[in-house]
Each structure stands twice: as C-alpha cells, then as structure tokens.
Chains A and B, each alone.
Chain A
Amino acid sequence: MESRLLRVDLTKRELKSEVIPHSVFEKWIGGSGINNWIMWEHFLTHDINCDPRGPDNIFVFGVGPLAGTGAGSGIKGRITFKSPCYNMFGDSAGGGKFPYAVRFTAFEYIAITGKADRPVYLHICNDEVALVDASHLWGKDTKQTHQLLQAELGSYPSKAHTLTISQAGENQVGIASVVSDALRIHARCGGGAVLGSKNLKAIAVQGNGGLPVKMPDEMLAWSDDFRQKIDENEAVYGFKRRGTLGAVEMYQHIGSHFWRNNQGNMFRGDDVTSSDNWVKKYQKYSEVCSSDCFIACDSKYKIKGDESEAAAKYVGETFRRPEYLTTGSAAGALDVRDWSEVGHWGKITNDYGIDNQDLSCSISFLMELKQRDLISRKDVVDLFGREQSLEWGNMDDIENCVESVVFKKDLFGELFCDGPYLGALRYSERQGKNFMKYAIYGKGGASFTEEMRPFPTWMNNMAVASRGADHLKGIGLIEKFQRQDLSKIYFDGRTEAADLSTPELKGATTALVENQVALLNSYGVCMFHWMLDPAGYTPQEYYGKAYAAATGIDRAPEELMRDGERICNLEKAINSRIGMRREHDTICERWMWEPTDEGMYPGSVAANVFEEVLDEYYDWRGWERQTGLQTREKLESLDLGDVAEVLAEDGALAS
C-alpha cells in the first residue's frame, strides 16, 4: 500500500507530490490517522501555538483506503487542522461525492499551508494540479461556487466535484465549515475559516484513474457478505426511509432532545415531534450521499408551500432531508416547530457553510437571556443595530442571526463568530455580568444538540473529545441503547457499561469507543453502517478484513485496536503541546449542576459522577489523573517514543 500526498504551499505557489510509504499505513492506517500524522509532522517545524488563521496553520484533506473500493460501507473524507474557533486540534468528516472523486485522481491526501496573495482555487485533474484565480468566486455561497466550478471545468475526464467555502469562510468566521459538492458539510471546528484565511476558495477535482485494491477477490467477497448482512436487517430499511430523523421519536420518548438551550429535553408542537410528518409532507426520493454505499440513507425534499402556514414562505425550496442534529438544533435548541422551517434552516446553514450546532447554541444562549429578561431591548439593538424579538422559534430573527455571523455584520456576529463558549465569555465581559451559566459547551466547544445529563459516557465525551464537545469521537451507543450484550463482550462479562444507574465503566467505554471510531475514521467509512450494526459492533474485526483486502495489511483485531489507540494518543499529544490539561476536560454549568426535570430520566445531573468517570477514563487511557497528561510508558507501548520526546521537551509529558 502506497499513496500520494499533494503538498500545496500557497505563499510560494509550490505544488509537490510525495509518496506516503507503506510503513506509514502500517502505523497510521489511513484517513484520519494519516491526516493526524501529517499535522503532527508539520508542527514539528512550525509553531504549534500559531494563529490558526495564520499562514503557519495546516489544512489536510484525506480519504481512507476503503473509500471507493466497492466495499459498500460509505465514504467519508476528513479535514484536519488547528481549529480557529476552539484553538485546539480540529477535524471534521463529510460524505458526498467529493471524497470518492478524489480517489480517482492521483492523490488521496492534500496538505495546504501558507497564504495565497489573492483568492485562488486548487484544481486537480488526475495527476495535473494548478492554482487558479478565484476572484470570480469570491463572495459566492457554497452552492453558487459549486455550480460555477462545474460549469467552468466541464465534464472531461469527469464532472468536477468540489470542496468549497462560503462568505463565512472568506470572512474567517471561526465556525465556518467546508462543504462537499454543495450538499454534505464538514461542519465542525471551523475548517472554512482556515481555508478563508489562506485565500483558498475551493478545491475542485476531476479524475478517471483507477485505484489500488491489493486483494480484489477478497474485497468482492467481503462486499457481498456485507451487502447480504445489510439486506437481512429490516432496521436498515427503516433507516433508508427516515435516515437519522428516525431518532426523533426515540429521543422524544426517552427525553433526549435539547430544547430551548437545553432548558428541557422534549420537542414541542404537533409537527416536529414525529418524523412521519416530514416523510409524508416533504420527502421526495431516497439517494446515496456518496457512491459506494449499500444503505442510501439520504433523500431530497421539496416544499410545495401548502403543507403549512410556514411552508408558504419556502415555496419550491428543494434540498436534502435534515439530519437529526440539524433538527435538534432547530426544533430543539431554537424551538422551531414546523418541519418546513427545519428544512430551511438546514439549507441556509449548508449554503452559508456554517456549523449549525455552534450557531444554534449561540442564538439559543441569547434567546434564553432575553427570555429571562437578563438583556434589555436596548441591549438587543446594541447587538444587532436594530430591533429583534429574539422569541423562541422566530425564523425571521433566526435568519437575521445567521447572516449576522456569516457576514460579521454587527456586534452579535463579531462576538459569536467562534461559537457559544467564546461568544458568551465575550458578551459577559462586555456587559460586566456573568452569563456563563447559560452557555452550553464542553471543553470550550459547542454542544451537539442532544441531552447529555442522563448519559455519563456522553457527558464524558463532551469533556474529553480531542476537538471540543463531541459525541462522535466516543459515541456512547453501548450506554444510550443499553446494549448489555456489547458491554459483556468488551468488559469481560460485565454489564455496567450499558447500565444508566451507575458511573461504572463509563469512562472506560469512552476510551474503548474512541479507539474504535479512530479506526473507522482511518478506514474512511461512514459511521452509520457501524451504528446500525449489521455486521457486529466490532470495527477491529469485521471491517479489519476489508482493510486487509484493500491494503494487504492483515492485522489481528487487538493490533488494530492498538492502532486506534495510537491515533487517539496523537490527537491528545497535539492538544497537550497546545497547553491543554485536565482542567480543560470539563463541561458547562447547566450539565454539571442543573438536574433534568422531564423525560424518562428526571433528576439526572453530571456533578454526581463527573470526576469519577473522568478518573476512570484517564486510568483506562494510561494517562495521569492529576494533569490528564500522557505518560512516557504509555506512549512507548504504542511505538510513540518520538512523540514522548517532543512532549517532554515542551513540558507536556506526565512527570
């Protein structure tokens, strides 16, 4: 297994091709693992405490070795960089056809540094690469940019697929995202601001080359088996129909939504409380987001206008079905009660290329201050330069807030361009009042708009995730779905990981699942195939066989789990070098101290178990409890002695 890395120095306008040798895959698997390695190596020669919006930051795109092989497990591309909004390790996955198309060029990895002296886009056509003037694209949103590039580049040797930023990225809004083919968003951590700071408007790829599969017969056999397992599971058909919106009913039943800035955990109203309403009124047809997926959970909607009073505002609007978290941010955080408005929210945040989790938590923070009369009418005018009701669910106000941030056009946009945590800190300082008890965050990052408090593993994930509050890095399905069968498999017959009534094994579960997710992200596959669990909840075993077929690297499951652990430890080391310690592994006051008062698990609060779970997490990681830092012994056991040396030099290794 070898791969090609395209290095782009925008300052010097240099484009270089490098080979990533087999030995790197043996250590870092591919995808996010190799992205992390490229980032780590970069910051050995550049200041890791650089301004994330400066030329010394690096932006890496990578696609894993299973992508495009016919495995059928979906494809995710990954972007990796130092986050401008959270000032720590940052990365984000995205589906769509862009990552698939990249695999049919000569490159699987792209590393971008420096800053162009004027707006440009990067064009890759098989093995030919060029930086092209993008002045005509500047000021365009992601959809407009994608359409202009497709028209400009024609359809030979293939239609162009794009990764673009909008005006939010151009304005270096810290929560600006990067969007694949104008449809699938790499939302988290502000990759759009990094590209904007580099004057790089887009990456466009066209390719019709082949891609290497080391053992094609084995890959086909694996793929056939995988498809059969998926077809046998009726739950997959339900997922095809509703996608992640199927979670609406479950979360409504148990009380796991994030309502009104997480003052509650149930949606309100007759419409958004049922995914059936969405399917019946708006859904048109199902489709795959990326080629090489056997599930096809995506779908398109079209608003006719007569579905509801609100829908009349959006006649003719068509886009992709909102995912659960887009719904959680609108129907939950902002209390929007009409499905057409939820769809519209998803579309505008995608077109503007901005993270709707950060954005909704920023807006809902402000709406709660208004609800509690903690800010006056004059304060609102001060923030927006005009009157705004800031009433829950008011879509006109919400759209104004979006544009405030995207264009940094007023004080609200300036204060909250880096998400709710920094926004709340800045606003508290400006007003001379402490509003932080109303800011919802973990480790300085915006919450995913789901209720965390009844679920200790999820709360721990929010505190320790390498990219700030995050459930994907250590997604706690064993706990949330109470999968005792899986708890027994991973913890020697013990069931506590699936038992909501005890903190036992919750930190351990975070560590375990972080390692598994690191593997999946390094293979370059979609997590939903794994979450639906058609082939066993064990990425190190079943998926490991596909990885072997693709790369020729045939490793035992325990070795693959060690590889996942190594990848997690490198993300941790990057953050330790930046200065992050145990005190940064924390969550907001509401989760810590305010008990839930609705849903099936009332009275849930983090404070009772938080420190115990965190200690257990560090113990299972082999990190030092007091500081949260890695130990030399642990790093050397993962063949990361060189990393330990760097950390020791920086004073970032446990003593």
Chain B
Amino acid sequence: MITVQVCFKSHFKELAGTSEDSFELEKGNMKELASKICGKYGKKMQAMLMDPENQSLNDRGTMFVNSKGLRVSIEDHLDDGEQVTFLVGIAGG
C-alpha cells in the first residue's frame, strides 16, 4: 500500500472542489489512481480525465505531471509519496 498526493489545478480543481487530495493505492500505478479519482469525483471528472475511446488518460487539452515534471501515462508505476498534478494543457493566445 502506498500513498500518492494529488494536486488539481484550474478546471480540475473546479470539478473536484478542492486543490489537493491523497489516495492510498494497492497496485501503485496510474490506472488505479485514475480509477479512484473518477470514483470519488464523478462523471465530469471522468470525462476530463479519461479517454472514452481507449480507457487511457485523456491527452487532449490536459497535462498530468509527476514531481519531476514528466508527463504520466496510464501504465506508469507510482512511488510512495509521489505527487501527481492535474493541469489544463493549453498555450499561447
């Protein structure tokens, strides 16, 4: 069992109603974390977080990074104490 810290920013924060949370994971991977987040925060969060076509993370208009600033994908292993930040992926304007 590991604990992962989660940060929600901008639209993710609005959907979650909080900027921070933490989750205990048994398998310790991103798939499990995404499933727990969707279960806790509901359908809109699921629509934001997951790609309905292939059950991977929704890469479109989003950005999910670990504490090293690297994008995480659905199959990634997470370490105990890792922080994953959920961001809106947009630029310019």
Residues of A within 8 A of B (CB): 232-239, 241-244, 246-250, 253-254, 275-276, 323-326, 448, 450, 471-472, 475, 477, 480-485, 498, 500, 527-528, 531-534, 600-601
Contacts and interface: CB of A to CB of B under 8 A. Distances in A.
B31 interface: no
Given A242-B10, A482-B71, A235 B85 contact: no
Given A250-B89, A532-B90, A241 B60 contact: no
B27 to A, nearest CB: 22
B37 interface: no
Contacts of A528: 90, 93
B60 A235 contact: yes
A481 B93 contact: no
B17 interface: no
A249 B47 contact: no
A448 B87 contact: no
B91 A233 contact: no
B91 A475 contact: yes
Nearest to A600: B69
B88 interface: yes
B14 A234 contact: no
29 contacts: A233-B58, A233-B61, A234-B47, A235-B60, A235-B61, A235-B62, A235-B88, A238-B10, A238-B14, A242-B10, A242-B88, A244-B93, A246-B11, A246-B88, A247-B88, A247-B90, A247-B92, A249-B10, A250-B63, A250-B89, A253-B85, A324-B92, A326-B93, A448-B92, A480-B91, A483-B71, A484-B71, A527-B92, A532-B60
Given A239-B11, A534-B61, 10 more contacts: A235-B48, A236-B61, A238-B10, A242-B88, A253-B65, A324-B91, A325-B93, A471-B91, A482-B70, A528-B93
A523 B49 CA distance: 31
A164 B60 CA distance: 36
Nearest to B9: A249
B52 A247 contact: no
Residue with the greatest number of chain A CB neighbours at <10 A, chosen from B70, B85, B93: B93
Contact of B89 (A248, A481, A600, A601): A481
Interface of B: 7, 9-15, 44-45, 47-48, 52, 58-63, 65, 68-71, 73, 85, 87-93
Residue with the greatest number of chain A CB neighbours at <10 A, chosen from B9, B87, B91: B91
A472 B52 CA distance: 30
Residue with the greatest number of chain B CB neighbours at <10 A, chosen from A246, A253, A483, A534: A246
A249 B90 CA distance: 10
A242 B92 contact: no
A253 B7 CA distance: 10
Given A232-B47, A238-B11, A246-B11, A484 B88 contact: no
A600 B91 contact: no
Contacts of B85: 253
Nearest to B72: A482
B65 A246 contact: no
Main secondary structure on chain B at its contact with chain A? mixed
A484 B74 CA distance: 12
A500 B69 CA distance: 10
B91 A247 contact: yes
Nearest to B73: A484
Contacts of B14: 238, 241, 276
Contacts of B71: 481-484, 498
Nearest to B11: A238
The 9 closest A-B pairs by CB, nearest first: A238-B11, A244-B93, A235-B61, A600-B69, A323-B93, A482-B71, A234-B47, A249-B9, A234-B48
Contacts of B65: 253-254, 600
A241 B13 CA distance: 13
A239 B87 contact: no
A481 B91 CA distance: 10
A246 B92 contact: no
B61 A249 contact: no
Contacts of A249: 9-10, 87-88
A249 B68 CA distance: 16
Nearest to A255: B69
A471 B68 contact: no
A195 B92 CA distance: 26
A250 B12 CA distance: 12
A244 B90 contact: yes
B88 to A, nearest CB: 4
A244 to B, nearest CB: 3
A242 B87 contact: no
